[in-house]
Amino acid sequence: MAGIFGISQDLKYLKNMTNEYLELAMKDPTPLAHYVATEMNLLDGDFEGAITEANSAINLDSNNSESHFAMGLALVYTGKHREAADSFRRAIRLDPFLKDRFGFGLARAYFHMYELEKAVALCERAFKSNPEDYIPLFLLTASYGHLGREREAKATLAKLRELNPKWSYLRFTGSGMRYKDYEDFDFYYDGLRKAGMEYSK
């Protein structure tokens, strides 16, 4: 399955560099190293590998909020959304200071459980807390699309174009984060289409 977004040559370079540094970090792994490994496995579509790395992070430090966030990511992209929501909530309880960042992960779990209003609230909060990070706006746009909230969807798309024009349309090529289940992939993209996001090959 294609990635969620196309990936530029610069991002491919960063991915290669991350893998090089990760190989070094794994000689004496920390929860952070396993967290990064979780994300890299997700980029490669290795869902079981991602869950294994997240488990390794938790086993090293069960009170590390990032470790439970890593597990939430691994589970949400694997299609285990309720379990993912539990992991994201655990991360928030362990570090309330990062509740908006972790809350965006919880928003993705809610989105795929069709609890769209909850997803909207958490995405809005995540973006408000860090308005330079436009990533929550994609999920917010998809949520508005499914809810038929056309005015908000258009406003969110306008904000996306303002913050980063080249990412304000769909692409199905590249190797961004992947979903294990096509139904999750299709539901996300269907929301973006309904919101009016353009398509580009």
4 neighbors 171 (Cβ within 8 angstroms): no
Question: How far is it, in rounded angstroms, from Cα 170 to Cα 110?
Answer: 22
How many angstroms separate the first and last alpha carbons of the chain?
A: 15
- Does residue 3 lie in a domain region? no
127 neighbors 119 (Cβ within 8 angstroms): no
- Does residue 98 lie in a domain region? yes
| CATH number where 80 lies | 1.25.40.10
- b/e map 71-82, b = 16+ CB within 10 Å: bbbbbbbbbbbe
Give the residue numbers spanning the domain of 58: 9-199
- Does residue 183 lie in a domain region? yes
- Does residue 2 lie in a domain region? no
- Does residue 172 lie in a domain region? yes
| pLDDT tens column, 125-183 | 999 999 999 999 999 999 999 999 999 999 998 898 888 877 655 554 334 567 999 99
pLDDT band at 98 (very low <50, low <70, confident <90, very high): very high
- Does residue 4 lie in a domain region? no
Tracing tokens 């913050």 back to the chain, one arrives at 163
- Does the pLDDT value for residue 194 go beyond 50? yes
Output the CA–CA distances (angstroms, integers) from residue 108 to 118, 119, 138, 175, 196, in the order listed. Answer: 10, 7, 11, 19, 20
- Does residue 119 lie in a domain region? yes
Domain count, the chain: 1
| pLDDT tens column, 5-58 | 344 445 565 666 676 666 676 677 899 899 999 998 998 899 999 999 999 999
Give the helix/strand (H/E) hosting 170.
strand 169-170
- Does residue 1 lie in a domain region? no
Instruction: Give the residue-averaged pLDDT of 97-108.
Output: 96
Q: Which residues fall within 8 angstroms of residue 124, CB to CB, at 6 or more apart?
A: 140
Q: Which residues fall within 8 angstroms of residue 106, CB to CB, at 6 or more apart?
A: 72, 85, 88, 89, 92, 122
Query: Residue 175 has what pLDDT?
Result: 40
Please, which contacts does 156-162 make with residues 24 or more away whose CB atoms are closer than 8 Å? 156/195, 157/195, 157/196, 157/197, 159/134, 160/134
